[in-house]
Copies of this chain bind each other. A is one copy, B any other.
Amino acid sequence: MARSPNKLEGGHGENSYSPFVAMESGRRLDGSESNSELESVGMGKMEVHHQVVLPPRRSTFSKFKRKSKEIFFPDDPLRQFRGQTCRTKFLLGFQYLFPILDWGPSYSFRLLRSDVVAGLTIASLAIPQGISYAKLANLPPIVGLYSSFVPPLIYALLGSSRDLAVGPVSIASLILGAMLSEEVSPTRDQALFLQLAFTSTFFAGLFQASLGILRLGFLIDFLSKATLIGFMAGSAVIVSLQQLKGLLGIEHFTKKMGIVPVMSSVFHNTNEWSWQTILMGVCFLFVLLLARHISLRNPKLFWVSAGAPLASVIISTIIVFEIKGQKHNISIIGHLQRGLNPPSWHSLHFGGKYLLLTLKTGLITGIVSLTEGIAVGRTFAAMKNYKVDGNKEMMAIGLMNMVGSGTSCYITTGAFSRSAVNHNAGAKTAVSNIVMSIAIMITLLCLMPLFAYTPNVVLGAIIVSAVIGLIDIPAAYLIWKIDKIDFLVCLCAFFGVIFISVQDGLALAVLISILKVLLQITRPKVVMLGNIPGTDIFRNLNHYKEATKIPGFLIVAIEAPVNFANTTYLTERISRWIEEEQEGDDGKAVGLHYVIIDMSGVSAIDTSGITLLTDLKKTTTNQGLELVLVNPVGEVLEKLKRANHADKFMGVETLYLSVGEAVLFLSSKMKSSAGPNSV
Contacts and interface: CB of A to CB of B under 8 A. Distances in A.
A5 interface: yes
Interface string A531-564: 0101111011011110000000000000111011
A517 interface: yes
Nearest to A485: B606
Interface in A1-51: 1-2, 4-6, 9, 14, 16-21, 23-25, 50
Given A74-B569, A483-B606, A21 B19 contact: no
Given A20-B23, A539-B631, A563 B524 contact: no
Nearest to A639: B482
Interface stretch (A207-215, A318-326, A596-604): A596-604
A342 interface: no
Given A221-B567, A600-B600, A535 B606 contact: no
Contacts of A604: 520, 525
Q: Is the interface of A mostly helix, strand, loop or mixed?
A: helix
Nearest to A25: B17
A225 B535 contact: no
A642 B482 contact: yes
Contacts of A513: 564
A642 B519 contact: no
A125 B506 CA distance: 54
A224 B5 CA distance: 54
Nearest to A60: B484
Contacts of A102: none
A82 interface: no
9 contacts: A17-B24, A24-B24, A74-B523, A74-B573, A75-B572, A224-B608, A532-B657, A535-B657, A560-B560
A431 B20 CA distance: 58
A521 B525 contact: no
A619 B70 CA distance: 23
Contacts of A600: 559, 600-601
A317 interface: no
A24 to B, nearest CB: 4
Contacts of A74: 523, 569, 572-573
Given A74-B573, A482-B643, A20 B21 contact: yes
A348 interface: no
A56 interface: yes
A382 B517 contact: no
A218 B518 CA distance: 11
A522 interface: yes
Nearest to A544: B53
A50 B532 contact: yes
Contacts of A85: none
A394 to B, nearest CB: 13
Contacts of A644: 478, 481
A608 B559 CA distance: 20
Interface in A214-250: 218, 221-227
Given A53-B544, A543-B634, 15 more contacts: A18-B24, A19-B535, A21-B24, A60-B484, A223-B564, A224-B564, A225-B607, A226-B564, A226-B608, A382-B615, A382-B619, A481-B643, A485-B606, A535-B657, A539-B631
A568 interface: yes
A483 B523 contact: no
Given A514-B518, A603-B601, A657 B539 contact: yes
A654 interface: no
A550 to B, nearest CB: 17
Interface in A47-63: 50, 53, 55-56, 60
Contacts of A277: none
A524 B603 contact: yes
A626 interface: no
A328 interface: no
Contacts of A2: 5-6, 9, 14, 17-18, 21
A377 interface: no
A404 interface: no
A559 B75 contact: no
A55 B536 contact: no
A226 B564 CA distance: 9
A569 B50 contact: no
A483 B222 contact: no
Contact of A225 (B559, B608, B639): B608
B610 A482 contact: yes
A524 B537 CA distance: 25
A652 interface: no
Contact of A622 (B385, B540, B569): B385
Nearest to A385: B622
A565 to B, nearest CB: 5
Interface string A383-400: 001000010000000000
A657 B611 contact: no
Contacts of A634: 540, 542-543
In this complex, the member of A6, A18, A527, A600 whose beta carbon has the largest number of chain B beta carbons within 10 angstroms is A600
A643 B478 contact: yes
A401 interface: no
- Chain B CB count within 10 A is highest, among A23, A56, A226, A608, for A608
Nearest to A510: B564
A183 interface: no
A543 B537 CA distance: 22
A619 to B, nearest CB: 7
Contacts of A545: 56
A53 B546 CA distance: 11
A75 B576 contact: yes
Contact of A50 (B55, B222, B523, B537): B537
Contacts of A508: none
Nearest to A603: B525
A670 interface: no
A636 to B, nearest CB: 10
Contacts of A658: 535, 537
B522 A221 contact: yes
Contacts of A218: 522-523, 565, 568-569
A115 interface: no
